[in-house]
Amino acid sequence: MKYQEFVLRKLSLTGAIVLILWVCWYNLGGMTIRLWDESRMAINALEMYESRHYWVTTFEHQPDLWNTKPPLMIWLQVLSLHIFGVHDWALRIPAALAATATFTAIFHFCYRRLNNFWLGIFSVVVLATSVGYVREHITRTGDFDPLLILWLVLASLNFFIFLEHNRTRSLYATFIFFGLAVCTKGVAGLIFAPGVLLYTIYRRQLKRLLTNPHTYIGLLLFLAIALPYYFIREHYNPGYLMAVRENELGGRFLKAKEGHNHPWYWYLNLVATELYVEWWPVFFLGLVFLWIERRSDTLMNKGVIYAAILAISYFTIMSAAQTKLVWYVAPVFPFAAIVVAYTICFIGRKVYLESAKIWRIGQPVLPVFILFVVVHNIYNELYLADRHNNLSDINYYIRDKFMAEKDKRNMFVLAPGYQPHVWWYTRVAAKQGQKIVHDSSVKIKAGDRVLVSKGEYMDTVTSRYEVDTLYHTNFIGVFDIKCKKQL
């Protein structure tokens, strides 16, 4: 290896490491706890942390039969709370660790198993700038999905190593990681299995797999990891298995839940307009290049074909599901990143090695394009994504004003509906001796301090009472109640 290339590789690897750490760890506690899954999991983890009852997840101190996922991620969050204390960022440390490990696994696979350093570097860069992966609910928040994606990536990559290198321990690792994926998010941990099977058939290795006794030992190992929690939970919480069957085993796939019904092309539109704007054309170009090099039998081409099959098969399955949510498509992006990185390497080889005139237009354009995507997407997701909105403004006030200033005066929160992201902060405030009452039915009186969400409650407060306005935005108001107005 020439000295110049050695230096370039070291600089590129250093840059990739900085990028990974930046994406996964920068300002981890900056955003308040998000509504929906993260906040519900936060309540699950806090109640488990306080009660030290680890088999049954609870919500408002009752068995949680809405969130029926096995609690591997919640256990890790509870461990983090025990180590670091009750903080927003402590809830997100397991997610950040899982995302960091995912980047590392992708790079190691491309470099060490596919024997292409630059494929690994560009895969990391592409994944780090994939909005569908580097966003809240995935890399940036304490949800199930980053840990699920880690296990799916490790399981899938180990299966490729087994097929191409005949390593039995990699086959066992495949079953172990699929078992951990089920322990993280139930049946969602198996959705890559059809893609794995398709690649096995494509490589004409199905007979070898089915006649290998280690396959069946591995299957037993998978069952030993994936199933016990379900029966333990049913023992302590009768009715749990019925709730799992309703929520996971056909429920969300066969019928739309909670109004999340969208047409089959919804994910395609989302990828093209929001989640993968810069990279989806490059992905499809990569499929064209794979076809051009279809006669190539290199390990890299096999690995990229495998990644493409996994990405396309998973995307197809999720598009057929009736319940569609933005984060359901997130496991596609690590494998799509490998295909996009292959495209970049293919163009780079043509430009810099073969010096074909038809490719020379890419010489100045490609590096500038990649740099633009890196800066643009990371700036948007790490800096602008923290902007306040009507769902989070209450949280920012409670955390960054009321709690940060150690305000000892009681405050009433008048905000209707399901708001576990607010309940998390009311409980954390109570731990530090501050009292926040979140009850929309409370009868306010002179001397009370109230935090009101925009809408009927704000109109009621300001029209019926004389108030001192302490804080006001487009979404919330904080008032000291002086007296009732004379009507």
> Tens of pLDDT along 190-202?
999 999 999 999 9
Helix segments in 26-71, DSSP class H: 37-51
What is the reported pLDDT for 206? 95
> Tens of pLDDT along 19-46?
899 999 988 988 889 887 899 999 999 9
Q: Is the pLDDT of residue 364 over 60?
A: no
* Cα atoms in the 13 Å half-sphere on the side-chain side of 179: 19
What is the reported pLDDT for 3? 77
Starting at the edge strand that comes first in sequence, how are the strands of the sheet with 449-453 ordered?
A: 436-438, 411-414, 449-453, 476-484, 465-472
- The span from the CA of 299 to the CA of 165, in Å, is 10
Q: Are strands 58-59 and 62-63 parallel, antiparallel or unpaired?
A: antiparallel
**DSSP codes, 7-19:** HHHHHHHHHHHHH
What is the reported pLDDT for 114? 95
Answer positive or negative: Cα dihedral of 102, 103, 109, 112. negative
> Tens of pLDDT along 45-92?
999 999 999 999 999 999 999 889 999 999 999 999 999 999 999 999
Answer positive or negative: Cα dihedral of 72, 78, 81, 87. positive
Region of poorest pLDDT, from 113-117, 263-267, 367-371, 447-451: 367-371
What is the reported pLDDT for 297? 83
Q: Is the pLDDT of residue 390 over 60?
A: no
Average pLDDT over residues 412-437: 85
Q: Residue 215 belongs to what H/E stretch?
A: helix 213-226
SS (H, E, C) 358-420: HHCCHHHHHHHHHHHHHHHHHHHHHCHHHCCCCCCHHHHHHHHHHHCCCCCCCEEEECCCCCH
Q: Is the pTM of this model over 0.75?
A: yes
Contact of 183 with 226, CB cutoff 8 Å: yes
pLDDT band for position 245 (cuts 50, 70, 90): confident
Q: Are strands 436-438 and 411-414 parallel, antiparallel or unpaired?
A: parallel
What is the reported pLDDT for 433? 84
Region of poorest pLDDT, from 132-136, 263-267, 379-383, 403-407: 379-383
Coil/strand/helix, residue 480: strand
The two most distant CA atoms of the chain are separated, in Å, by: 86
- The span from the CA of 143 to the CA of 28, in Å, is 13
Task: Give the whole-number percent of the chain exceeding pLDDT 90.
Answer: 52
> Tens of pLDDT along 181-239?
999 999 999 999 999 999 999 999 999 999 999 999 999 999 999 999 999 999 999 99
Helix segments in 85-192, DSSP class H: 88-108, 117-128, 145-165, 168-185
**DSSP codes, 427-470:** HHHHHTT--EEE-TT----TT-EEEEETTHHHHHHHHHEEEEEE
Q: Is the pLDDT of residue 366 over 80?
A: no
More confident residue, 487 or 332: 332
Q: Is the pLDDT of residue 148 over 70?
A: yes
Average pLDDT over residues 2-29: 87
Q: Is the pLDDT of residue 152 over 60?
A: yes
Q: Is the pLDDT of residue 408 over 80?
A: no
